[in-house]
Structure 1
């Protein structure tokens, strides 16, 4: 479980404070030797044709000009500057660092986190709906202005995906860093949103909440494709889509029973 904890926010902070001495990656351990990449030979041996075959005379003997090769792994030399492209890949097909090779339990746990994360962000849109009447009374604005708190949230997590999705493909950032940083900012912004004393500040904060909550929409499906094969990916996407569609439907139910009693700010917490 150390590799799973290492990728969490607490694990990354621990690595930063300890200067990578705690929770190291395999490449950071003493004595680790980098492996040369291996390639699978795609050459196939052409079977010999029986002498009695009527077509044997018409087929040239390719085996005399081409040596036989097996399909075993062949160690290749490191890429040299003269190579036009250098392909960076896993050490082998069964590299444990490859998310495709994670255990089923680990894959399911990470997939559940992504679905829960998506549900949390999406429920934040419709959970504001029961508070619209309270916003109208407290700030003296029309229903259209008060409804902007819902509209701006939805617009911003659609626009934010245009930024976070390309950034997640940069190796130095990856998906986890964006998830952790943006969700941390999202949680912090909930505090001033629930305490704001003017309509302008409320609308701006609602927009920022949607913006920093959008990575689940931007890279959620990509995270599943990193872990699961194409045969299992549709099942994961179905659960992920269900998390995103059920959340707005449940938002008014969650806040509808409490806002009349606790006030409109309760739904923003």
Structure 2
């Protein structure tokens, strides 16, 4: 438990108040351990080239300068010092002459700690710190199963708490129309602006969480504090404009986990197991919009729309208290950066550095803007794979929200449910999401895991096979729901049909998000932020014309129209499974080695 609490907000507060006497890290208990964390190869690269990793040209320069191929990388945690390629005097006479000429030309000096020769033109006296081995317990990938499962639960709870904020409001839209004297379409803006807000938010918050000096927890906790506080003026809104303004702001502020939650899971789970965690996370994302009308329906019926906002505040307030005490940092880069700072403090050695720290120091405001805004947009519209899959997921998301608007028409208008009972009609979607988990996990274990190589990699296109089935589930749901929603047919039939949507959406979301992460590993945060922005744009816009479409076409043909639209997109996962690799190899940003 101490290990879990130590890296939480509460743990940092305890360490600050006690000046580090309680909840100490291992290097604080025994400062002599600092040598375990040194990385000899990165230190050598810093001395010769000024940064830890070598580019192709610099690798060539190093080989030419040394006169021999570079030595194999020393395992992390090996003791520093000893001979380096440029120190080797057992080579040929030409090698010695090359070394002497190079040293004379650059005027080399030696590193303070490692005796590594420094190139005074490009080198830097930095002793590099890394994980002490592949089993370093501070690295999130090496956490215990219990700790990973518990943190996954927390990420899912936060995702559920924010996602429920969109649909929980919809239960009170009828009361909003009466209180503020606005139309039904205008009242729907309270839903769409919240969705638009959490579509824009990740464009800022997701890249910020990737900065090593910041990490994920300050973003999660900081925004959640503001999110909870702002529910008060939202619930107490005195006019319709104030309500809409705060709905958009709270959606924007509460959004980080919607894109960064997947990155947090990626911090903890190896690629071959990441799909399991993403699957559970996806269920929490589905449960939010599904449970919103159920949780808010009875409250809105009894106390009015304001109580739906109070419920959201209570739920997120509980989550906030829990996360302050029990949510540790998951960003490996941030954890390594803070370890380096602790080592400098306990040893007094100011030259200790880590690679994430150097990356963070080199980032300019322009770099952050490029990552936050320009890169997600350029990836979305310049990469055919990203554009097609983002468009498909955006369509599914838009269909979900426009389809939700038909539930009052069907279950209140046709089957005479009251507002609370209408919320129960969404349970079919929840049941479908739960039913699909066991067979999907069996499929992952039986067919996907064996395809990973010894380095934990898989051909990205193999992630799309589950989408083959999921693509057909969406139109099945819409046709089933639309044509079974009739007074002469029992109300259970459209509810059963609604379960097919969550099955299809779950399989599509899981396949696409894992595929994009595998195909664009260096740009995963930007790709997922762009995906969230595009699908939220559709989710925000589609509900505005839902009422008119269903009233003019009727439930059967309006649902059928959506079903035909979803059929048009079915070929996308099949086409990318067949031709995706060919497209990736032509891209400058996609992965080429698989």
The TM-score bracket by the shorter chain reads: 0.7 to 0.9
- Partner SS, residue 179 of structure 1: helix
CA pair 107-143 structure 1, distance change in 2 beyond 3 A: same
Structure 2's unaligned 5+ residue stretches are 42-67, 82-113, 311-594
Distance 2:242 2:8 in 1: 32
* 1:250 pairs with one of 291, 308, 326: 291
Contact 2:206 2:259 in 1 (8 A): yes
Contact 1:7 1:176 in 2 (8 A): no
CA pair 71-209 structure 1, distance change in 2 beyond 3 A: closer
Bigger relative CO (Cα 8 Å, ≥ 6 apart): 1
2:259 is the alignment partner of 1:218 = yes
CA pair 33-234 structure 1, distance change in 2 beyond 3 A: same
Distance 1:29 1:230 in 2: 34
Structure 1's unaligned 5+ residue stretches are 40-65
CA pair 172-219 structure 1, distance change in 2 beyond 3 A: same
- Aligned counterpart, 1:231: 272
- Aligned counterpart, 1:75: 79
- How far the C-alpha of 1:119 sits from its partner, in A, is 0.7
More helix by share: 2
Equivalences for 1:7-18 in 2 at 5 Å? 7-18=7-18
2:4 is the alignment partner of 1:22 = no
- Aligned counterpart, 1:118: 159
2:39 is the alignment partner of 1:37 = yes
2:248 is the alignment partner of 1:207 = yes
- Partner SS, residue 257 of structure 1: helix
Deviations 1:75-114 (A, max 9, x none): 3435775476977531211111101111100000001110
Distance 1:139 1:80 in 2: 74
Distance 1:9 1:72 in 2: 36
- Partner SS, residue 31 of structure 2: coil
- Partner SS, residue 187 of structure 2: helix
Equivalences for 1:144-223 in 2 at 5 Å? 144-223=185-264
Distance 2:305 2:21 in 1: 48
Please say which of residues 88-97 and 174-183 is displaced more in the overlay. Answer: 88-97
- How far the C-alpha of 1:145 sits from its partner, in A, is 2.2
* 2:306 pairs with one of 252, 262, 265: 265
Contact 2:205 2:219 in 1 (8 A): yes
* 1:89 pairs with one of 117, 123, 130: 130
- How far the C-alpha of 1:71 sits from its partner, in A, is 10
- How far the C-alpha of 1:175 sits from its partner, in A, is 0.6
- How far the C-alpha of 1:11 sits from its partner, in A, is 2.1
Contact 2:194 2:247 in 1 (8 A): yes
- How far the C-alpha of 1:72 sits from its partner, in A, is 8.7
2:141 is the alignment partner of 1:137 = no
Contact 2:40 2:74 in 1 (8 A): no
2:168 is the alignment partner of 1:127 = yes
CA pair 128-94 structure 1, distance change in 2 beyond 3 A: same
Contact 1:161 1:217 in 2 (8 A): yes
Please say which of residues 205-214 and 9-18 is displaced more in the overlay. Answer: 9-18
Deviations 1:203-245 (A, max 9, x none): 1111121112111112111111111111110011011111112
What TM-score results when the alignment is normalised by the length of structure 1? 0.81
How many corresponding residue pairs?
241
What TM-score results when the alignment is normalised by the length of structure 2? 0.38
Distance 1:111 1:28 in 2: 28
Distance 1:114 1:11 in 2: 19
CA pair 134-230 structure 1, distance change in 2 beyond 3 A: same
2:141 is the alignment partner of 1:100 = yes
